[in-house]
Chain A
Amino acid sequence: MNGAADMGGMHGFGAVEPEPNEPAFHADWEKRIFALNNAAGMSDIWNLDTFRATRESIPPPEYLALSYYGLWVASLERLMVEFGVATAAEIAAGRSLQSTQPIGHKASAAETANFIVNGAPYDRPAKSPARFKVGDKVRARNIHPRTHTRLPRYVRGHVGVVVRLHGCHVFPDSHALGVGEDPQWLYAVRFDGSDLWGTDGDPTSKVSVDAFEPYLEPA
């Protein structure tokens, strides 16, 4: 969706401000929401792509006013209501008002430690050969889905070159909708800065995105 999250190329946000000796977290609540989202993400009720889709569907004025972990709080509140984990009244009350049978899996500390070490790979066996190869010219489709996509606006309609095949991966656009993994070939596609940004771009820059096959057409 064309939400506030898709901000590549926007103006007006000011300078990047690095923080010397930055701590991992800046407040106790940041630690808690970080852990809660990751733990809830292991419950199999929603997935990483649902989480991202929920976060980017927060209305732009609210999205832009929230800090990064503030967005995680707003996303978890929405996901819990949407998936029937809690009611809006319970979230407002700050406690459970009705006892319900948990609908997902509760990950133990041992499972969590194991998950952190082993991860959850997103690559999948290919069911068909890749349509494109390294060196092929491809155009990023001019698509504007109202649902989750990982094709940023700033490359849509532009022609780039395939520089890498990443294999076949879970397709976020489908996965976020809860209709299965729908694995697709994934490519790194490189664009010239001058093509993307015209004379306002940097002619010495190249920008690549990881693009799933359905995002691309031959050029």
Chain B
Amino acid sequence: MQLRVRALETILTEKGYVDPAALDVWVETYEQKVGPRNGAHVVAKAWSDPDYRKWLFEDATAAVESLGYGGSKGTNLVALENTPTVHNMVVCTLCSCYPWSVLGLPPVWYKSAPYRSRAVADPRGVLRDFGIELPKDTEIRVWDSTSEVRYLVVPVRPTGTEGWSEDRLADLVTRDSMIGTGLATQPEQAGK
């Protein structure tokens, strides 16, 4: 693959289709700058600020942009509310659609056949692969990302976090909890 990719890069650069400096911007941005800390900030704010929470569920694109996280693969964003009785989970069965602006690039498992094939047919089995067992009567809503709309799950705020600052809450918000394949970290597990 290394050689095949070098061939494409050489040709596209020689022929003047791509600017090497622009390639560096793509890599640096998604390797170093944009990642699930963005989404964790959004969720922690929604947990602590009822007005923001309301706005996030009404117009996630605007609410997220207000924190400075807009743009590529997040321009039509929808936030999904997890509750004690409803659990949302996001997949892209056809490819790899994922809210880059708030979560960064998707992990390998998200883009791989086991997750893409099973999430829609056996969501509880998939959750068990992540060590999650939900109550039998919890409704599981799987969202197959088949358009340019992007979905962000807002996990349930753990109990015992009353009065916590947004920064401290953000540390409980895992990437997987915002995809719906995980839950927020419980306060007694934080820092472990």
Q: Could you list which residues of chain A lie within 8 angstroms of chain B, going by C-beta atoms?
A: 5-11, 13-19, 22, 24-29, 31-36, 38-40, 42-43, 45, 48, 52, 55-56, 64, 68-70, 73, 76-77, 80, 85-86, 90-96, 99-100, 102, 104, 106-109, 111-113, 115-123, 150-152, 154, 164, 166-167, 169-170, 172, 186, 188, 190, 193, 196-197, 200-202, 204-212
User: How far apart sit A192 and B173, CA to CA, in the bound complex (Å)?
Assistant: 29
Contact residues in B for A120 (Cβ distance below 8 Å): 72, 75
A49 to B70 CA separation, bound complex (whole angstroms): 21
Question: In the complex where A52-B95, A91-B8 touch, is A202 in contact with B22 (Cβ < 8 A)?
Answer: no
What are the interface flags for B1-42 relative to A under an 8 Å C-beta threshold, 1 for contact and 0 otherwise? 111111111111011111101111111011100110000000
Report the bound CA distance from A172 to B27 in whole Å: 27
- B78 interfacial by beta-carbon distance below 8 Å: yes
Which residues on A sit within 8 Å (CB–CB) of B11? 80, 85-86, 90-91, 94-96
| Between-chain CB contacts (< 8 Å), 28 pairs | A7-B116, A8-B144, A9-B121, A15-B129, A19-B109, A22-B108, A27-B1, A29-B6, A33-B5, A34-B26, A35-B26, A69-B1, A73-B1, A73-B4, A85-B15, A86-B11, A106-B18, A108-B21, A115-B72, A117-B70, A118-B71, A119-B75, A119-B101, A202-B124, A202-B140, A204-B140, A208-B142, A209-B144
Question: For residue A121, which residues in chain B have a CB less than 8 angstroms away from its CB?
Answer: 75-76, 148
A8 B93 Cβ-Cβ under 8 A: yes
A-B contact count (CB 8 A): 291
B contacts with A: majority SS? mixed
Contact between A210 and B149 (Cβ–Cβ < 8 Å)? Answer: yes
Given A5-B94, A19-B108: A13 and B14 within 8 A (CB)? no
A95 to B95, CA, bound (A): 30
B residues near A (Cβ < 8 Å) are 1-12, 14-19, 21-27, 29-31, 34-35, 70-76, 78, 91, 93-96, 101, 104-105, 107-109, 111-124, 126, 129-130, 136-149, 176, 181
Q: Are A56 and B94 in contact (CB under 8 A)?
A: yes
User: Which residues of A lie under 8 Å from residue B109 when comparing CB positions?
Assistant: 16-19
Q: Are B122 and A85 closer than 8 Å at their CB atoms?
A: no
A124 to B118, CA, bound (A): 33
Cα–Cα distance between A188 and B130 once the two chains are bound (Å): 27
Given A117-B70, A210-B147, check contact A102 B15 (CB 8 Å). Answer: yes
Q: Bound state CA distance, A69 and B2, in angstroms?
A: 11
Q: B9, A170: Cβ atoms under 8 Å? A: no
- Contact assessment for A86 and B15 in the assembled complex, using a CB-CB cutoff below 8 Å: yes
Return the chain A residue nearest B61 by Cβ: A121
A190 and B141 in contact (CB under 8 A), knowing A27-B2, A31-B31, A122-B148?
A: yes
> Are A206's CB and B26's CB within 8 A?
no
Report whether B7 and A94 are in contact in the complex, using a CB–CB cutoff of 8 Å: yes
Q: How far is the CA of A86 from the CA of B18 in the complex (A)?
A: 13
CA distance in complex: A158, B129 (Å): 28
Q: Do B14 and A205 touch across chains, with their CB atoms under 8 A apart?
A: no
Q: Within 8 Å CB of A56, what residues of B?
A: 94-95
